[in-house]
Structure 1
Amino acid sequence: MDRLSGLDASFLYLETPSQLMHVCGVIVLDPSTMPEPYTFDRLQAAIDERVHDVPEFTRKIRAVPLGLDHPVWVWDQNFDIERHVHRLAVPSPGGYRELMDLCAHLASLPLDRSRPLWEMWVIEGYRTEEGDERVVVFAKMHHATVDGVSGANLLSHLCSIEPEAPPLVPDPSLRHPRDPGKGELLGRAVAGTATRPLALAKMLKPSAELVTKTIGRARQGTAMAAPFSAPRTSFNGTITGHRSIAIVDLPLGDIREVKQATGATVNDVVLTVAGGALRAYLEERDELPETSLLATVPVSVRDSSKRSSGANKISALFTKLGTDVEDPVERLAMLAERNRHAKEHHNAISADALQDWAEFAAPRTFGLAVRTYANLRLAEKHPVVHNLVISNVPGPPIPLYFVGARIDVLCPLGPVFHGAGLNITVMSNDGKVHVGVIACRESMPDTDALARHFPAELERLKDAVAGR
């Protein structure tokens, strides 16, 4: 029996029909590299062969009686690949716009909690701008199961660096979680509840010390940006369950060129380009705030975490994107300095702080609070916590093959939240940086209007750096 960590379970409690907590991926495949000619049946069977012994793909959640503790993972003894890998065709004429509309619709559908929390939609009939026919896999997996790094690791069961590579042999130490009886679940829950006051007491002192140190950093001007200090925009309010999606590619070589010329990091350059794209998008709509937009940037703590269990090993930092700065080089310099302070501040916080506090998220209370927050539209009545989430997921520098088909695009998409109805996720792969933009459709109906600014802003930054 595997109990969900508090952080993993929190993503279940945060979910409502409008605030969906799955992560998605748009994977564009060239089927011509497959060892055998593509058919849906072959692809589905190959996926089944690669996942049926992997616990993350074959486990489902089971609630604890009376909601006394976080749910547990149990093996789905009725696992059936046909319930998880589906077939669709992109509507005519089968171009980019039709593909994005279809993916947005699929992203708007919740996962079935009675089954393992993932699914893939194999989309046929897509044609690129060059007229090449491609197969697209739109993948969904609940955030309770993966974070950015663990999600990329799970892809290794489906991807390889050679078209004809055999499937990975599952780790024999990874067993399917057993299904416990109600008595055992209840007993464990009662025992865990009894020890929580002691755990809370242990956390109070270091948390108080952290607050004191943060105040000191703020006085010195070396603290990360503070939440609740973001300006309000059209995508900062109560969201619906409808989504809009756009994807775009950037040349990784250009980003590295700017990095080498300025001494900044790749992440600094990516955030600078994102800030410029958001500035241009808001200017076009006469919505540009006088103060900078504030982004939440998830940070993996997998290497420093002391916890051995849990799928999500993440923390987060806040950073201002310099949308109030017109000059891209000045914005990059400002972001590089702010990010350095934010990282130093973040490193002073325990890697497990977020996971430790999440253990106290009560299933019933937490879920009720989220629904009440949405129903009362409280996101529109208090200061904006943050404007959006931006994630940067490192990927392989070499070509990848998904069950033998070469990956042309590997673009992840994160969840959006009440109060922050926009998520931008970037992932590098084989010399390109894939940018995925997902938003609440009512808040940002045309995500392409934002995505199209990314290549232009990178070119603008590159030219400005070269001219100095």
Structure 2
Amino acid sequence: MEHLSTLDAGFLEAEDSDRHVSLAVGGVSVIEGPMPDFASLVDNVADRIVSIPRFKQMVRTHVLDLEPPEWVEDPNFDLSHHVHRAALPDPGDDQSLFRFVADVMERRLDRDRPLWECWIIEGLAGGRWAVLVKIHHCVADGIATMHLLSSFSDDGEGATFASEIRAAHEPTDRGVRVPKVSLNPLDWASGIWQAAVGVTNAATLAVGGVVEITGGLLRPAATSSLAGPVSTMRRYSAARVSLEEVETICHEFGVTVNDVALTAITASFRAALVRRGERPRRNSLRTLVPVSIRSNDAREAVDNRVSLMLPCLPVEKEDLVDQLHEVHGRLTTAKGSGQRQAGSGFISSIGLLPFPLTAWAVRLLTRLPQRGVVTVATNVPGPRQRSRILGREVVSVLPIPPIALQLRTGIAILSYADSLVFGIIADYDTTSDVDELARGIEQAVAQLSAVSAGVRSSAPNGD
């Protein structure tokens, strides 16, 4: 019997803490037409899921959380419970697709069945169609979700940008296995002692990271409309930029793709605050940035393998180039402070504690109103080449993050072929300007591209 890790189970607890949230992640593949016969599509999905046990498993919990939840086969598995068909109203434009995505993602997945859905969407403009796959976050993180989504394509996953992240070249961190549950208090004491040693070692290796993360979580961010209670309804939008342009900006300014992406997000949030009549402050946009700790040899593992950083994105700075340099500097500082190592060590060490203690602690913490973090921005490396589904080319992939714990917006950044795509999920009632957030991201990248072009043209011999 395979148990959920403490981190995986934590996503279930976080969802249970607020009846207004659904902690599912997803992706939309927009595909060239014409759309194949629906029965053929269902057969294709059926063929693919045979190789993915998690798609036929459901979560079984235990009374009083005396044991961790576990994955068990659904004895009544029926594909028709999971694969659905829908059509967009005319004209089938982006706004129609985004409204449909928001409607699907705001609803919780049924815990009495395997935690995923697939929607075949007809009626997109230009004769196109789409496939939306929705998976609970307790099943997989961003990279694992992309691996699952890629399994629906004709060629499987293929080469992805995931091989370029730092963790990909590090040995597999298999984490700490959940110990056998015991009701003997002496065994509990032993587990607590081992966890304490693990936390001590993590603090020794990355004491600065522990301090930074703890301080970021405990210090309230500046009060603004960006954070607070959310409703049950969602809005969705997306921004698309050229990956070649982003890489040119990286070359000219000596920064990373993630630096450019977070700078574009910073500029757009600054514009939103100004638009709403609010003053951007240094601590207005403390952002949870998940960091993958998944190595290449764990690429196919279906679970969550992430740590985190908590930088304050510099919305207080007006100049875009200043923002870029500041983002690069703050992320460099966050990396150097050991936040990634501290977060990873903490997540591993809590696996040694008896599950009832961690479950009750997570349940309590997720019900407290957190005020330190304002948004989440997660970077997910996607396929290097365009994928195909039943011979049709996937022209774009739109990532979909969740929101919870007082965060009114979440942004997922996906590299796919020659594009960088930003998927934005937001609370319906408090973020009516979600499309303006998307356009602000595109405008910021365009402006940085223009500035970098000016830098090149002014260099001797154009170098």
Q: TM-score, normalised by structure 2?
A: 0.84
Pair 1:298–1:358, CA change in 2 (3 A): farther
Pick from 66, 74, 77 the counterpart of residue 72 of structure 2. 74
Whole-Å separation in 1 of the counterparts to 2:385 and 2:184: 46
1:15 aligned onto 2:15: yes
Unaligned runs of 5+ in 1: 164-186
Whole-Å separation in 1 of the counterparts to 2:333 and 2:361: 33
Question: Share of identical aligned residues, percent?
Answer: 28
Between 434-443 and 357-366, the greater mean CA deviation after superposition: 357-366
- 1:226 partner letter: G
1:304 to partner: Cα distance: 9.7
Between 235-244 and 113-122, the greater mean CA deviation after superposition: 235-244
Unaligned runs of 5+ in 2: 158-178, 456-463
Pick from 289, 306, 317 the counterpart of residue 297 of structure 1. 289
After superposition, the C-alpha distances for 1:208-264 in whole angstroms (9 at most, x for unaligned) are 565578776899xx9998333522221311112211100121100110000011111
Matched-pair contact (CA < 8 Å) for 1:313–1:355: no
- 1:6 partner letter: T
Matched-pair contact (CA < 8 Å) for 1:294–1:320: yes
Whole-Å separation in 2 of the counterparts to 1:76 and 1:397: 35
Tell me the residue number matched to 1:31.
33
Tell me the residue number matched to 1:41.
39
The number of equivalent residue pairs is: 426
- 2:23 partner letter: M
1:314-463 aligned within 5 A:
314-344=306-336, 345-349=338-342, 351-357=344-350, 360=353, 362=356, 365=360, 369=364, 372-373=367-368, 378-379=369-370, 384-463=371-450
Matched-pair contact (CA < 8 Å) for 2:60–2:72: yes
1:158 aligned onto 2:148: no
Whole-Å separation in 2 of the counterparts to 1:157 and 1:333: 38
Pair 1:350–1:326, CA change in 2 (3 A): closer
Matched-pair contact (CA < 8 Å) for 2:320–2:448: yes
Whole-Å separation in 2 of the counterparts to 1:451 and 1:112: 31
1:299 to partner: Cα distance: 0.7
Whole-Å separation in 2 of the counterparts to 1:31 and 1:194: 63
1:196 to partner: Cα distance: 3.6
Tell me the residue number matched to 1:178.
none
After superposition, the C-alpha distances for 1:140-166 in whole angstroms (9 at most, x for unaligned) are 100110101111222232124499xxx
1:262 aligned onto 2:256: no
Whole-Å separation in 2 of the counterparts to 1:359 and 1:113: 26
- 2:146 partner letter: A
Pair 1:108–1:197, CA change in 2 (3 A): same
Whole-Å separation in 1 of the counterparts to 2:306 and 2:216: 19
After superposition, the C-alpha distances for 1:38-80 in whole angstroms (9 at most, x for unaligned) are 1221111111111024212111111124421211101113221
Whole-Å separation in 2 of the counterparts to 1:213 and 1:245: 40
Pick from 85, 88, 108 the counterpart of residue 86 of structure 2. 88
Q: TM-score, normalised by structure 1?
A: 0.83
Tell me the residue number matched to 1:166.
none
Pair 1:443–1:197, CA change in 2 (3 A): farther
Matched-pair contact (CA < 8 Å) for 1:225–1:319: no
After superposition, the C-alpha distances for 1:81-104 in whole angstroms (9 at most, x for unaligned) are 111010011123322212211111
Give the structure with the higher percent helix. 2
Whole-Å separation in 2 of the counterparts to 1:305 and 1:192: 37
Aligned partner of residue 245 in structure 1, secondary structure: strand
Q: CA RMSD in A?
A: 3.0
